[in-house]
């Protein structure tokens, strides 16, 4: 489609493009830059998985929405004494699930690490028994898997080759029922996290990224992306599309025994740092 895109750009007499989006959008922005179109990119994805930046617009709002939804549903899950499973976006990277679990104190499963199913179920059952209200909760990325399990896909592939994924939370619910007889309730938070107004952090970063993009264009720069690195605003190269999305550093960020985020040894690290 690139020849048609370039023809439309020429017809519209555009001098430059500011492309706003995630890994797929920015990979095509990089291609347009190589075709000679002046491009400045702005990272925006609730998955927060764009390379060369610690933060993408939408991430904070998504976590805030997930936190609110989980806190509201604790009452219902607790009153029925069930296990609550919350599915969030994250096809290839588990940042949304990881940080939702971080601020809600839950277990989580992420695409970067295949958990042991029996151990996961034991943890959830133990959490439930030790809870005075007799319930437990967990957050799962849409791309999470366990050992011996492959997530099923359905539908036609999109322009970037991605098909929709079946719900791993629904499959886990069946595994819990089969192994223990316990009932689990599934809540799909995916699209709900992308709705309503952005929170303070996302408004702040979005306004700042907009100003940075305009500054770069006024300086006749191209092929760059607005970013936050080590807590500082920066202009960086648009990520190499061949590298794919940025992923969770399991060794430093995820507890592979307890299936939850690591909360220790944060002193001295930048606020937005998502991996070393």
Is the CB of residue 170 less than 8 Å from the CB of residue 117? no
Q: How many residues does the chain have?
A: 276
Q: How many Cα atoms occupy the beta-carbon half-sphere of 190 within 13 Å?
A: 16
Is the CB of residue 224 less than 8 Å from the CB of residue 235? yes
| 3-state SS class at 49 | coil
Residue 106: count of CB within 10 angstroms of its CB: 20
Concatenate the DSSP letters of all residues of 166-184 into one string. P-HHHHHHHHHHHHH---E
List the catalytic residue out of 23, 33, 47, 202. Answer: 47
71 catalytically annotated: no
Token duo for residue 105: 């104190």
Residue 194 host element (H or E)? none
Which residues are catalytic, by number? 47
């Amino acid at each position: 489609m690139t020849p048609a895109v370039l023809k439309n750009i020429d017809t519209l007499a555009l001098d430059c493009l500011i492309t706003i989006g995630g890994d797929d959008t920015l990979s095509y922005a990089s291609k347009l830059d190589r075709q000679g179109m002046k491009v400045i990119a702005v990272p925006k994805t609730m998955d927060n998985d764009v390379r060369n930046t610690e933060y993408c617009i939408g991430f904070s709002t998504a976590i805030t929405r997930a936190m609110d939804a989980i806190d509201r549903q604790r009452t219902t899950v607790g009153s029925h004494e069930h296990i609550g499973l919350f599915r969030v976006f994250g096809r290839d990277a588990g940042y949304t699930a990881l940080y939702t679990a971080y601020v809600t104190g839950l277990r989580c499963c992420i695409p970067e690490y295949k958990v042991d199913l029996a151990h996961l179920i034991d943890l959830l059952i133990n959490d439930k028994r030790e809870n005075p209200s007799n319930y437990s909760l967990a957050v799962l990325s849409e791309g999470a898997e366990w050992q011996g399990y492959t997530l099923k896909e359905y539908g036609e592939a999109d322009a970037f080759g991605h098909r929709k994924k079946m719900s791993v939370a629904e499959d886990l619910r069946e595994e819990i029922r089969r192994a223990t007889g316990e009932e689990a309730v599934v809540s799909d938070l995916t699209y709900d996290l992308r709705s309503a107004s952005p929170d303070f952090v996302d408004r702040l970063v979005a306004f700042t990224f907009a100003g940075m993009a305009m500054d770069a264009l006024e300086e006749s720069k191209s092929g760059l992306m607005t970013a936050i690195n080590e807590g500082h605003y920066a202009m960086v190269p648009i990520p190499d599309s061949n590298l794919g999305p940025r992923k969770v550093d399991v060794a430093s960020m995820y507890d592979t025994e307890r299936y939850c985020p690591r909360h220790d040894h944060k002193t001295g690290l930048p606020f937005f740092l998502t991996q070393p």
